[in-house]
Amino acid sequence: MKTIQFREAICEAMSEEMRRDESIYLMGEEVAEYNGAYKASKGMLDEFGADRVIDTPISELGFAGIGVGSAMNGNRPIIEFMTFNFALVGIDQIINNAAKIRQMSGGQFNCPIVFRGPTGSAGQLGATHSQAFESWFANCPGLKVVVPSNPADAKGLLKAAIRDNDPVIFMESEQMYGDKAEVPEGEYLIPLGVADIKREGTDVTIISFGKIIKEAYKAADELQKEGISCEIIDLRTVKPLDYEAILKSVKKTNRVVILEEAWPYGNVASEIIYHIQSNAFDFLDAPIEKINTADTPAPYSPVLLAEWLPDYKDVINSVKKVLYK
């Protein structure tokens, strides 16, 4: 094992895959000369040259479309959005072309493309730069959606995403790029659609993904002091969901709390709750709790932002609620 930053894990994954397959290239704003807005492509221009690490104008619709077209013609593009808030400018290419071309062409065209970049809030960035669109993309058939929470998972999942023959939305976080953790030496892949039990427990299942899962870890540590044992599932992939892992844990603990940084209406947690009540209702000893942001645009004020975002105290309160404590 070695200890590296999240941004380095992303860079290693892309670089290893580009060495292996010449059809892979990286395109986006500031990915080349500036080494990436978050330095996640540091050194890649020097190694692979300007034909495969390509700076673009500020035109997400344009370079997303170039990526989709080249994927249909045998390439495997990695399209970086400086944030997925900006992907809204290019979302027509993602939803109406990348996600649908395989079906609409009767299988004549695949679209092996990765759209990657940060999602969610990252401090005082205002309402238009603090949005989490995981559930939006997951709602669209034809897309796979990956949201890693640590460097090791990020590297293995990104390599698998690049090799996948379908379009993959790969969502990171500005606030995780500096995170350091152990990553295996040598090549490894983590299959898409497989959740991971990050912490074994017996009293309650906490389901989460992405950077917000850190609040679940904090809550679990505090609850352990009170003798409450929390099992934490990191979904890692939200489309497809690992229903088997979720149901297995629910049948073990009989209580569920879902933590998701997203607006509360019609999100990933809602889908999980429906599936649990459809397939494991008789195993539940309490109603399922879900924790989300407030149902408003993200505020700029640090005081209001702290109230808007879920934290470990919210998790503790929800766990105690499902335990009737």
Domains and CATH numbers, the chain: 1-181 (3.40.50.970), 194-321 (3.40.50.920)
Please enumerate in sequence order all residues whose Cβ is within 8 A of that of 218, keeping only pairs 6 or more positions apart, or say none. 312, 315
Active-site entry in 8, 29, 60, 172: 60
Residue 60 known to be catalytic: yes
pLDDT for res 219: 98
Q: Count CA atoms closer than 13 A to 53's CA, side-chain side.
A: 22
pLDDT for res 179: 97
Cα 250 from chain centroid (whole Å):
23
pLDDT for res 34: 97
pLDDT for res 320: 98
Share of the chain above pLDDT 70, in %: 100
The C-alpha atoms of residue 63 and residue 27 are separated, in whole angstroms, by 7
Question: Which tens digits make up the pLDDT trace of 160-198?
Answer: 999 999 999 999 999 999 999 999 999 999 999 999 999
pLDDT for res 73: 97
17 is written with which tokens? 């895959």
The C-alpha atoms of residue 324 and residue 321 are separated, in whole angstroms, by 5
pTM: 0.97
**Residues 143, 98 contacting (CB under 8 angstroms):** yes
pLDDT for res 187: 95
Active-site entry in 12, 29, 80, 129: 129
pLDDT for res 270: 97
Q: Count CA atoms closer than 13 A to 59's CA, side-chain side.
A: 8
Question: Which tens digits make up the pLDDT trace of 59-79?
Answer: 999 999 999 999 999 999 999
Q: At 57, which amino acid appears?
A: P
What are the angstrom distances between the C-alpha of 149 and each of 91, 154, 175, 284, 297? Answer: 24, 7, 11, 28, 24
Q: Which residues of the chain have pLDDT under 70?
A: none
DSSP string, 23-58: TEEEEETTSSTTS-TTSTTTTHHHHH-TTTEEE--S
